[in-house]
Amino acid sequence: MLCPRISRQIRVQRMKQKKTKQESVNKLQQLHQSVNPEERKIPANKKYNLLFILAIFITGIIAYSNSFDCSFHFDDDYVFNIRYGSFTANSLGILDWLDFIPTRPIGMLTFALNYHFHGLDVWGYHLVNLTIHLINALLVWWLTWITFSTPVMKNAAISKHKTMVAFLTGMLFVTHPLATQSVTYIAQRFSSLATLFYLLSLILFVQGKLWQRGRNIPWFLFGGSIVCAVMGMLTKEIVFTLPFAIILYDYCFLKAVPWKLEIKDKSLIISFIILVIFILLFLRSHSLNIFETVPPDQGYSYSISMKEYFLTQFRVILTYVRLFVLPVNQNLDYDYPLSTCFFHLKTFLSFSLLLGILATGVLLFKRYRLISFGIFWFFLTMSVESSIIPISQNVIFEHRTYLPGFGFFLALTGTFFYLFKERYLKIVVIILLMVAAINTVLTYQRNKIWLNEYTLWSDCLKKSPNKARVHSSLGNTYQKLGQYQRAIEEYNEAIRITPDYADYYYDRGTAYGKLSQYQQAIEDYNKAISLKKDYAEAYNGRGDAHNYLGHYQQAIEDFNKAISLEPDYGLAYYNRGLAYDNLGQYQNAIENYNEAILLNPNYADAYNNRGNVYNKFGQYQRAIDDFNKAIHLQPNNAGAYNNRGLTYLLQGNNEPGCYDLQKACEMGGGCKALEWAKGNGNCH
């Protein structure tokens, strides 16, 4: 039996242990309660996030599922040089994209790779464009998600809804029909790809700032941010605002205490490094003449000054806002009047409304940080193409809204989640999902307009009936369809609206040439040359018309002029070869065909015609080699089969010769040669 004193000590000791245990339990409970409820649901959130990302991807694929057969359009002709029968990468190797530095070499590299693997099959180009768009939607989701982990936002009441806010922002971004001009319009990959590098650079910077463990990882992330920034700047100049976006993000979300200007601040250091690189790249490819008045061009009869461009942008930006809210009556080629005076009613009201939106962002900054940031982002990223720099007379293009769209959708989603009470949030989610569903349908419908050049320019004609370029583009479409008289009617209308634009006369001259109305074609080419003295294509077209009229010496003079203006003009060499061939100067003809093939190794017609000249020299094997090459490049080239068949007969090889003549006849290339061979006893 223990003595009372010892027994009492044991009881006291047990009570102390019990008290200590209870205190530990209380501390654990307090710690558990202090953790953000969202953080306790990390495993569940990860599952939800994966499902939400998958939903974003699937919805984006559905929205653009009918875009894969949409043809090349508008600027595609100039990016790929389709108009003159070749592609930029056709005679260049993939590594030659370096020649485009510092002017968008990364974007050009992707097009060169596309051409390497897909030729002119549009499916591969659309696949890449859609992939970029889906990645951008993922980056929008990611940037929205990590924003709720920043010092300013992690304890905000809205942060408990970060999973849904990030999902809905990404969903609205991927489905909105305004993005079709950056996704379905192949050449505008520059916009979507630049946006990819822009967002990824900012995300890597933010992750570096939020990284709390170790010392090396943040600088690795910062280095990645700088690399992405440079890649973006080498894709499109809209990335120039990125250093300011980094500072804006830092000010809005990364400083819980009052923001101070500190020289050692990583945000300022990274922004300064990127800005210096951007300025150096800019100075290599541009000069201060970008602020000068843009002369009449691209089908416009008027010039546009810095002042006019700047004042017009007040109305243009408001039009963009309207299109985000109500995406109807979209148009590739707006007929947008210029603003020449600040105090014109529409211009002044537009400025006042935009100033009001910007002021709203400032007033809401303390309580509704997400909305304010979205507004500031919208105006900042819009500033390169919608400010004082007169890019061209094209004052409005929908693809310019692609990067600013993130700010709009973030502000929109944030507004719903900030202003509606907890019990109404389910209704908010349903509303925003319905908006995304409607946008998906509108995007799908808009892609039908992009199906081919006829559907696109017919749509533009309904919305911009008084714009010359629309009539001209529709005329070009009719030419490609072989409807030359209808093409001429559209060119007539374009010339009526803008009578002093050389391209319209050139295009009409080409259509007259297709109708064998060569004298009228020459008159139009003359007019084009009078308006544009260095118009190599017009000299070539006029030479071609002289060729058909039998004016071979005049034709050669025109081809000489075209080649002097454009030494790499393969078509002019080919046509000059035809003229020399018609004059019986066969060696000169071969030399010109050689030059055309050197400039374009896939020039099937040049191989075919050179083969004909070799035949005249009696060099039958060399002729057959050329016909083989022409057939390899164009398996349906009936003329090449016909010529090879006749050459085989000249060699005494009747069996392959008759096969080729039969093949040419079946292709619709004419059966006269086959009938002659049968009549001569060569074929049965």
Cis peptide before 102 (omega within 30 of 0): yes
Alpha carbon distance 415, 413 (integer Å): 5
Rg of the Cα trace of the chain? 33
User: How do residues 627-673 score in pLDDT, each as one tens digit?
Assistant: 999 999 999 889 999 999 889 888 888 888 889 888 888 888 768 88
Alpha carbon distance 535, 541 (integer Å): 10
Question: Which residues in 338-408 belong to E strands, given as ranges?
Answer: none
Q: Which domains does the chain have, with CATH numbers?
A: 46-449 (no CATH), 468-533 (1.25.40.10), 614-684 (1.25.40.10)
Q: Which residue has the higher pLDDT, 389 or 525?
A: 525
User: How do residues 123-176 score in pLDDT, each as one tens digit?
Assistant: 999 999 999 999 999 999 999 999 999 999 998 989 989 999 999 999 999 999
91-100, 231-240, 550-559, 650-659 — which one is most confidently predicted on average?
A: 550-559
pTM, full prediction = 0.85
Contacts 24+ apart (CB under 8 A), 318-321: 318/350, 318/353, 318/354, 319/396, 320/178, 320/382, 320/396, 320/400, 320/401, 320/404, 321/357, 321/408
Q: 38-52, 337-351, 388-402, 670-684: which range is least confident on average?
A: 38-52
Residue with tokens 């339990």: 25
Residues in Cβ contact with 513 at an 8 Å cutoff, skipping those fewer than 6 apart: 521, 541, 544, 545, 548
Q: Which residue has the higher pLDDT, 304 or 297?
A: 304
User: How do residues 275-286 score in pLDDT, each as one tens digit?
Assistant: 888 888 777 766
Name the pLDDT band for 472 (thresholds 50, 70, 90).
very high
Average pLDDT, integer, range 664-683:
81
> What are phi and psi for residue 148, nearest 5 degrees?
-80, -5
Share of the chain above pLDDT 90, in %: 64
Is residue 40 helix, strand or coil?
A: helix
Q: Which DSSP string corresponds to 206-240?
A: HHHHH--S-SHHHHHHHHHHHHHHHHHHTT-GGGG
User: How do residues 163-217 score in pLDDT, each as one tens digit?
Assistant: 999 999 999 999 999 999 999 999 999 999 999 999 999 999 999 888 865 556 7
